[in-house]
Amino acid sequence: NHPHTYWVFRVLLAGIRVTDWLLWDCALAGDLHGNFHDLVCFEKVLWRLGPHLTPCNFLFLGDYVDRGDYGVEVVAYLFAQKLLAPSKVFLIRGNHELRAIQEMFQFRDECIEKFGDMVGNQIWEAINDCFDAMPIAAVVDEKIFCVHGGIPMPCFGKGLISSIDNVPAVMKDPEVESPLAWELMWSDPVKIDDVDDDILKELETNGGFASNETRQTAHVFSHEALDSFLARNDLSHVIRAHEVKPIGFQVQHHGRLLTVFSSSHYCGSGNEAACVLVDSNKIRTIRLDTA
């Protein structure tokens, strides 16, 4: 590892097992996508005095880079907070914490533009070494499963969250190294408007799962699949990120799934940013004024 990110790597690698990630009283943020301005707004609202002096924990649900212009700054800030408060700040991996995706979008180019070709590539690799060690999921208040994308099909580890403990601690290529991790990073809830006869038949045949045509990878899942996953794991809700929402969040699948997105004006659109507060099994959303 690069000397400047070695300790970030080591801290991220500690407590990799999802069953170790039993957090309490937590603020959760969804996709940030290089939006440093909104991250600072969250700081002013939620942890103005710093994580150490704030009662709750902080869980970030991935996709820290690409799409926005300040991925380096977002990553540097979050890594610094993780080092300062390793038992209060938690970072899980999204589908943009992947080298191949960043090369398709802009984070590698951002590093090179800001630091030059040689140093920029070194910094990009060092940051991705840390991404490789990020956990894939967490559990809050023993009942709320938190992940970037969505739930896995039962064919992956029998649909049990304990199977996530078997995901490799460090993954450069999750698609090859852990199909389970890939599903958790990429899946989406099915949208009723997208369900045609072929998708409906696939959902009925596969226990509420169908191919994710939008992403061209992983799957979409129905509320029946979600209910089965929650019952199987003695959980009450899933909180995830991965999709932009006009008001920053959306409650789906009969109120048991919450999507949160924490980068406003994403790709030039007019969407708002939001975060989630979980306290004693109560789930509240906060829409952020980023003006």
Point out the residues that are catalytic: 96
Positive or negative torsion for Cα 52, 56, 61, 65: negative
Nearest to 87 by CA among 39, 52, 36, 124: 52
Burial class (CB in 10 A: 0-12, 13-18, 19+), 10: middle
d(CA 53, CA 45) in angstroms, rounded, equals 13
d(CA 80, CA 156) in angstroms, rounded, equals 34
HSE-up of residue 170 (Cα within 13 Å, Cβ side) = 10
Kindly report the length of the chain: 291
Nearest to 248 by CA among 25, 28, 24: 28
Our CA angle for 189, 226, 251, nearest 5°, is 55
Which helix (H) or strand (E) is 287 found in, with range?
A: strand 282-288
The DSSP call for residue 211 is: E
